[in-house]
Amino acid sequence: MTDVKRNPEETGPESAQRPVLSDSEALRYTPENLFARGGWLHSPDGPWRPEGITPPPDERTRVVDTQRGPFRTVQQAVNAAVDGAGSRARVWIAVAPGVYRGVVYLPANAPPITIYGTGETPEQVSLALTLDARFTPQQYQAAVNACGEFQPGDPAWEEYQCIAASGAPEIGTGASAVVWAQSDGFQLLNLSVVNTLLDSVDGQAHQAVALRTDGDRVQLERLRLISRQDTLWLNSRGVAQGAASHISRVRVKDCYIEGDVDYVFGSASAYFENVHFHTVSSRGAGEAFVLAPSTPHDVPFGFLVQQCRFTTDNGFGETLFAKLGRAWDHGARETGYRPDHTANGQALIRDSFTDAGFDAKAPWGAAATTGRPFAASRSALRDDVRYNRLVEYHNQQRVENRGKTPAQKRRRQG
């Protein structure tokens, strides 16, 4: 096949710091290929073909409402769904407009659950709490379980207790999530998840996850996910030292995601479609990275980003420029990066737009954890483990209004 010549305004010429796929190389990077296998690799699932999320008639749902009904919190409805699961049939949880302060934990044995907001827009339903990876277990207990929301025997008691009773000096990134779903088949629709730590801390490392998913066949649609560092964690179970025993597949569609450092990260194989990534400078972090995949070295597909927008606020574009991302060399702090062993994050951004706040010449940074300098393979073997796997295809950079977006102007911070 003869490659079609690119418009020189699209992505720009390939360089050592800005690798660009050819037309023929780009053919393999499709959602169909990314979703072709998943689950436990010793007995993988077949192809996954996700469709849009369509809530059923009201009588088939559990309704969460702060003013009335049997469930005043989302966690109460999740607990009832897990306790009453006599089959693997999907459980629908409708959340009425309002602000729901507290964490939501779905254990690994939960049935497929869809949590969806019943408002006209995602802004009208907000799941919110302030959590910081630097919290002590005692601070975590005070934030999460001050009124006894979690009790022995509850479906998510183990998840809560392993953090609260850990004895560690800090709870860590994994425990800082407002919503944490370990189960397969999880869906989230038409609401906001906000870690309200936001700009209340300095620009140092303050991981504050809004949403963490660990399971396979996860769908996230029409959401607002807001934090600063580590907003969205798309994780896979069974990942140790860069090798995978489990592949989690995730579809992210029609969402707004806001943050500053590594704010979309993890080891899952995820497809992003029509997503607005908005990078902010308000915390004063001094650097910014959107994507931080930690794809296992033996998994070919990490993050596929298609027909999306990357914007920045007015703090970028003169002396400070945001990066599209960097690899996360997960688990290699002591060993350094080791080919064929360490995670080697894979991402392709294609058919998308970036504004002038992004670094057009060197859009990818040195790896998180190890500081491994960015180096791209320029051979036909884009999966060479000696090099990074972060690439672009048919993107455009254009000047946009980098002040407040319409979503920022109308949102409530929880």
Largest CA distance in the chain: 65
Which alpha helices (H) appear in 157-196, and where do they start and end?
A: 157-164
- Look at the chain and count its residues: 414
Region of 217 on the Ramachandran plot (φ > 0 left; ψ -120 to 50 alpha; else beta): left
| CB contact set of 110 (below 8 Å; sequence gap of 6+) | 78, 81, 82, 85, 155, 181, 182, 183, 186
Catalytic one among 262, 329, 355, 359? 262
Structure-token pair, residue 48? 């996954």
Say whether 262 is catalytic: yes
Q: Distances from the Cα of 310 to the Cαs of 45, 240, 258, 274, in angstroms?
A: 33, 31, 10, 11
DSSP 259-315: ESEEEEEESSEEEEES-EEEE--TT--S--EEEEE---TT-S--EEEES-EEEE-TT
| CB contact set of 260 (below 8 Å; sequence gap of 6+) | 228, 229, 279, 280, 281, 283, 285, 288
Q: Which of 308, 323, 309, 307 is nearest to 390 (CA)?
A: 323
Structure-token pair, residue 247? 């592949």
The owner of tokens 């360089």 is 15
- How many H-runs (helices) and E-runs (strands) does the chain carry? 6, 28
Neighbours of 120 (CB within 10 A): 9
Buried b (16+ CB within 10 A) or exposed e, 48-78: bebeebebeeeeebbbbbeeeeebebbbbbb
Q: Catalytic residue numbers?
A: 262
